[in-house]
Structure 1
Amino acid sequence: MSASPLILSFGSVNIDVTARPHRLPRPGETVHADGYTIGLGGKGSNQAAACARLAQDLGLRAALVGRIGNDAFGTLAREKLETFGVLLDALHQDPENPTGLALIGVDDSGENCITVAGGANMAVGDADIERAASLFRAARVLMLQLEIPMDSVIAAAAKARASGGLVLMDPAPAPSEGLPAALWELVDVITPNESETCALTGINPRDKAEAAQAAEHLVERGARMAVVKMGGRGVWWQDGADGGFIAPFAVNAIDTVAAGDCFNAGLATALARGETLEQSARIAAACGALAVTKRGAADAAPFWTEVAALLG
């Protein structure tokens, strides 16, 4: 019997220290928070964890390639990822660099600001790809983000493409100089939010017409497909000449930290199951909407039963 489909996340692993003030501080200002939490973060690990949670009921597997430090935060990150069911054979313990750390503030409205110290994430490279060669060969979908060195992202995309895997690119954080041509040529699906769309195309997608224009621009740059995320204003998907708008799901948002990562996990999961981009984007939108109803990063990831209920 063949192995179940694999979704592979190649990217960052952080520990998040999240404080919850009533409002976010202005430059030079100190504000008091009601409390704080310490949990799993980093776009690579968040997306792997969210995929693993969805995969529990769908017959899929989710694996992570990345680095942690030889420290207490690294031990915590591995333990948390194990509870989600992520395959961790290719999670490398770096003896020279600390585990990545994110300092997060979330106010009463759910808005956030984040400072990241990359640590071991910035040492991810060719050696990590070679250690995980069998996973890259098996991956039906490869999830990429930009919290590790760009050369490593490009090399991973090329490795997955060579074995017929689909490359899903979350261009976050968007580099000021844009994405290199070598990466555009390897991207199957790109999934920017509003600010990332503006950075990549010069278009701020405030409505579906502007999102459609931006998506067409992204496809012209080289991506086969594009999904433009507009938060509470919905999603535009573009697959070649075909495209369409997906209205937002009505939810009570309390924490937006995990929305993008859970959206991408939902998209990858649906694509790995063979869904169309339109249906995959709708599933992804439901995952993102559910994530903002919970606090935390990876911990906010929804279960498939929740997604199915919201989809109706």
Structure 2
Amino acid sequence: MSHILIIGSANADHVMKFEYLPAAGQTLMSHEYRLEQGGKGANQAVACARLAKSGSFIDFICHLGQDSVGNDMRQSWIKDGISTEGISQVAGLSTGTAMIFIGDNGQNTIGVAAGANASLSPHDLDNHIELFARAQYLLIQLETPTATAVKALQMAKKQGVITVLNPAPATALGNSCLKWVDIITPNETEAEALSGIEINGTEDAQMAAQLLHQQGVGIVVITLGSRGAYVSSTDFTGLVPAINVQAIDTVAAGDTFNGALVVGLSEGMSIAAAVGFANAASAITVTRQGAQRAIPYRHEILY
């Protein structure tokens, strides 16, 4: 039975689409509006819950506001089978919010209010030591304070938990963080931020992976969009090709990939097989519009 702990952010995404992006001082009427439940941590928790086999246990540590948005998110996650033990609603703070303006040409402008996400401190993790103790895998990102992520990795390693870091948003991290990471899953931009190497193909990915290994990371998985994912590990090294689909919306594709990868590994798949499973899951996500509502369920994955 899989037992996965996710720590991260939760956002309400307000998405508006326009013919073109408004200039300073200009007011435009959008031709589409939708409210999405998002945030990298929440997306990955939902992916784990929907893709894991029946009987698996999914814990999620996050901070929400004491507001209707936070209430709705919590209820939605319960329906997906996510445990609520690690979910806190913080008085006086709003749930994280993103305002996303998208032009018909694909350009976008995004503003984010971290809200309760920013209040998830290293000290708060001490209240959830039992969740670390029962986890097999920890999956974490960087949309909450970096100090919190570092402490979570340390706590997990001391408990013998396998740690998976999705280093997003892209930022430079030192050995003080990476030495606690068993598996790292950057995309091309994030791999460049970590290694200083511009990723244009598998040779660049190989060089970046070697630098990350030198900093203590055991397995490196660099996602390369429609090309697939480059894996560097002692068991398998090479490109796992993506599944060719007609993408309409890439939001939450990376989060689906990360959730599926950890689910596959927790069920005993090899790293190559788990990446193939993750590619299959994310391929479905990009054919659908939205964030969490686009994430597939296990029975939809033909793998």
Question: TM tier, shorter chain?
Answer: over 0.9
Alignment partner for residue 14 of structure 2, among 7, 11, 17? Answer: 17
SS at match of 1:132: helix
Alignment partner for residue 304 of structure 1, among 270, 276, 298? Answer: 298
- Find the aligned partners of 2:155 and 2:89 in 1 and give their Cα distance: 22
- Find the aligned partners of 2:106 and 2:267 in 1 and give their Cα distance: 32
* Alpha-carbon shift at residue 58 of structure 1 (Å): 4.4
- CA deviations 1:275-312 (Å, max 9, x no partner) are 121111111111221111111111111111222x2x3x
* Alpha-carbon shift at residue 221 of structure 1 (Å): 2.0
Residue 42 of structure 1 is matched in structure 2 by 39
- Find the aligned partners of 1:30 and 1:289 in 2 and give their Cα distance: 36
Judging changes above 3 Å, is the alpha-carbon distance between structure 1 residues 306 and 106 closer, same or farther for their aligned structure 2 residues? farther
Letter in 2 for 1:92: S
The answer to whether the 8 Å contact 1:112/1:257 transfers is no
Judging changes above 3 Å, is the alpha-carbon distance between structure 1 residues 240 and 221 closer, same or farther for their aligned structure 2 residues? farther
Aligned residues: 302
- Find the aligned partners of 1:198 and 1:145 in 2 and give their Cα distance: 17
Higher mean C-alpha displacement, 97-106 vs 184-193: 97-106
The answer to whether the 8 Å contact 1:109/1:254 transfers is no
SS at match of 1:160: helix
Residue 245 of structure 1 is matched in structure 2 by 239
Judging changes above 3 Å, is the alpha-carbon distance between structure 1 residues 109 and 8 closer, same or farther for their aligned structure 2 residues? farther
* Alpha-carbon shift at residue 139 of structure 1 (Å): 0.9
Residue 146 of structure 1 is matched in structure 2 by 142
Residue 59 of structure 1 is matched in structure 2 by 55
Q: 2:90 aligned with 1:122, yes or no?
A: no
- Find the aligned partners of 1:189 and 1:15 in 2 and give their Cα distance: 28
Taking the TM superposition and a 5 Å limit, the aligned residue runs for 1:93-132 are 93-106=89-102, 114-132=110-128
Letter in 1 for 2:255: D
Judging changes above 3 Å, is the alpha-carbon distance between structure 1 residues 229 and 74 closer, same or farther for their aligned structure 2 residues? same
The answer to whether the 8 Å contact 2:10/2:117 transfers is yes
- Find the aligned partners of 2:50 and 2:188 in 1 and give their Cα distance: 27
- Find the aligned partners of 1:106 and 1:125 in 2 and give their Cα distance: 33
Per the normalisation by structure 1, the TM-score is 0.90
Higher mean C-alpha displacement, 72-81 vs 268-277: 72-81
* Alpha-carbon shift at residue 110 of structure 1 (Å): 6.7
Residue 168 of structure 1 is matched in structure 2 by 164
- CA deviations 1:199-235 (Å, max 9, x no partner) are 1112222222222222222212221111001111221
Letter in 2 for 1:215: A
- The gaps in structure 2 that reach 5 residues or longer are none
The answer to whether the 8 Å contact 1:92/1:128 transfers is no
Alignment partner for residue 254 of structure 1, among 229, 248, 258? Answer: 248
Per the normalisation by structure 2, the TM-score is 0.93
Q: 2:294 aligned with 1:294, yes or no?
A: no
SS at match of 1:167: strand
Residue 269 of structure 2 is matched in structure 1 by 275
Judging changes above 3 Å, is the alpha-carbon distance between structure 1 residues 247 and 86 closer, same or farther for their aligned structure 2 residues? same
Residue 84 of structure 1 is matched in structure 2 by 80
* Alpha-carbon shift at residue 184 of structure 1 (Å): 0.6
Letter in 1 for 2:69: F
The answer to whether the 8 Å contact 1:65/1:128 transfers is no
Letter in 2 for 1:41: G
The answer to whether the 8 Å contact 2:236/2:271 transfers is no
SS at match of 2:284: helix
Alignment partner for residue 205 of structure 1, among 199, 203, 206? Answer: 199
- Find the aligned partners of 2:280 and 2:11 in 1 and give their Cα distance: 25
- Find the aligned partners of 1:124 and 1:275 in 2 and give their Cα distance: 32
Judging changes above 3 Å, is the alpha-carbon distance between structure 1 residues 112 and 263 closer, same or farther for their aligned structure 2 residues? farther
Letter in 1 for 2:226: G
Alignment partner for residue 229 of structure 2, among 227, 235, 241? Answer: 235
Q: 2:278 aligned with 1:284, yes or no?
A: yes
